[in-house]
Structures are given as C-alpha cells and as structure tokens.
Amino acid sequence: MTPERESRAKYIKEAAIELGFTSCGISRACFLEDDARRLEKWLSSGMHAGMKYMEKHFEKRADPRRLFPGARSVISVLLNYYPAKTQEDPSAPVLAKYAYGTDYHYVIKKKLKKLHNVIKEIAGNVACRSFVDSAPVLDRAWAVRSGLGWRGKNNCLIAGNEGSFFFAAELIVDMDLPADTHIQKEKCGDCRLCIEACPTGALAEPYVLDARKCISYITTQHKGRIPDNFRDKMQNRVFGCDICQDVCPFNQKAKSHSEPLLDPNPEMLMLTSREWHAMDEDRFNSIFGNTVLSVSGYPMVKRNLEFSKG
C-alpha cells in the first residue's frame, strides 16, 4: 500500500465529514457473493411484493463493475436524518422521520457531487458515478463492507451506538483506494424487540423483511387499494414506518442531525389530526412540495389517510 493511496483515502474521508456526511468508508469494487445469494433467495420467495424493479439488473446489483465498467473502489457515506423535533399532535397521522425534510436524493447528490470535485482536485480526472437509492446498488451491503455498521435484525444498517437513522449512498470510482478492513461485528445478540414490535409481522425472521406485510412499503410504494387485513394494524402511519427502529436499543440515544435541508417545515410538525384529514392538494404541495412525499404524490397520501380512518 503506497503512502499516496493512504493519504488520498484519508483526505477523501475527511472531506466527506466536512461536507456534512456522518461517516465515510471505502471498499473494493467486487462481486458480493453472500449478498447476491441472499437477494436471490428473497426474490424467489416473493417478499419484494410489487417492487418488480428489484428483479431487474441482478448482475449489476451484485457487482458494481457490471454497472460501472472500470469501477475499482466504492466510497460509502452515511448521513444522519434523526430530527431534533417530531410531530406535536400525538393523535396525528405519523410520518416516517426520513421524510421530514427536503428530499434526501437531492440533498445527498449535491454533497456527492462536491465530494467528486474534491477527488478530482487531488487525483485528476477520476471517473465517478454517484448513487442515492436510485440505481441497482446494494447500499447497505457496501456500507457494511466499508465498516460503517452491521445489518440489524430489522434489516436496517445499524451504525454502532449511533443507531440506524441514516441515509446510505455511494460514489463508485475507477481509482484504486485502500479498502477499510475493520468490519463492525453484529451486536443484536438475543434481542428481538424489532421483530416483536412490528404490528404486521413483516419481519418474518431475523434479517428477513417481507415487504408484502411492511407498513413502509404499503404506504409509499404499494399501488391500488390497501388490503383489508392491514386495517387496525397501521398504527396511524401515513407515510413510511419507524416502529422497528424506534424500539431498537441502539436508537435510544440517537443524536439529531445537523443538516439544515433535512429540517422539517414547522407547519408539518404542527399539523393536527383534523388538519391532516382535511388537507387538500394545494396545502399538501405547500407543506410537502420539496419532500419525498411529493414523489409519491397527494393521491397516495390521501389514500393512506382515508384507510387509516376506517
């Protein structure tokens, strides 16, 4: 390992932190054999529900070199999104915390572009592609491989004592960088709080999520009518679900993020249950126009609200 490669990796990680990322790790671009086997089993069981896109580009998901020819290293980053304040009305429909602020795709891509510019400054014309939950990349697998956390029983990435309220993203580059070798050991132990807390039984077993039963999937991606068997099980969730994360011991001391763009619209925090259910499309757009809720759109959120009323 040359001093130049080491210093470049160190500089990139420091730059990532300066740009506001919570942590940064590096792994070698390669075939993810274990994760490919796990993904294949999950898909064959039908647990991906209506996410047919997961069936496509399997080879690219398992090997970034198929997605980006010339890929040598995967730079993984995490960004904390845990809010300092949450919704005020305890009876109001509940919004997942990741959806509070500006659409994270925009926030993270902007930071990744700046990080790419830093890399070009120190290493010349480095080819690079950024990925933020929008391409066939196994974000959690690369974060684990880069030493940023482990895969919890709730299928979320758990970043040690800092918990799991993080976005994960990557820069895949054609530059050879030293890979991080310290992989975090899984520390869930005998704990089953996330499994037992899930009201729909979506966590079929440790480390296996059945999207067909997942409130987060149902409220953000499921098309059409919500199945009646979910009635009285949604726990007033209107978009996404944090139940399995909220009960996780590693999240009990979660620290709030420091990214202004992820701060929620104060009006959203103050919405009462009555105001949620009376909301028309114009008000929805004024409050949520720059969030991920706008991607799913008003009709889906309205459907979820009507279902929660019974």
CA distances from 176 to 29, 30, 76 (A): 9, 12, 14
d(CA 264, CA 303): 23
3-state secondary structure the chain: CCHHHHHHHHHHHHHHHHCCCCEEEEEECCCCHHHHHHHHHHHHCCCCCCCHHHHCCHHHHHCHHHHCCCCCEEEEEEEECCCCCCCCCCCCCEECHHHCCCCHHHHHHHHHHHHHHHHHHHHCCCCEEEECCCCCCCHHHHHHHCCCCEECCCCCEECHHHCCCEEEEEEEECCCCCCCCCCCCCCCCCCCHHHHHCCCCCEEECCEECHHHCHHHHHHCCCCCCCHHHCCCCCCEEECCCHHHHCCHHHCCCCCCCCHHHCCCHHHHHCCHHHHHHCCHHHHHHHHCCCCHHHHCHHHHHHHHHHHHC
Question: Positive or negative CA dihedral for 13, 16, 18, 20?
Answer: negative
Are 150 and 185 contacting, i.e. CB atoms less than 8 angstroms apart? Answer: yes
Catalytic member of 63, 133, 174, 263: 133
d(CA 32, CA 59): 10
d(CA 74, CA 60): 14
| Residue 133: active-site member | yes
Catalytic machinery residues: 133
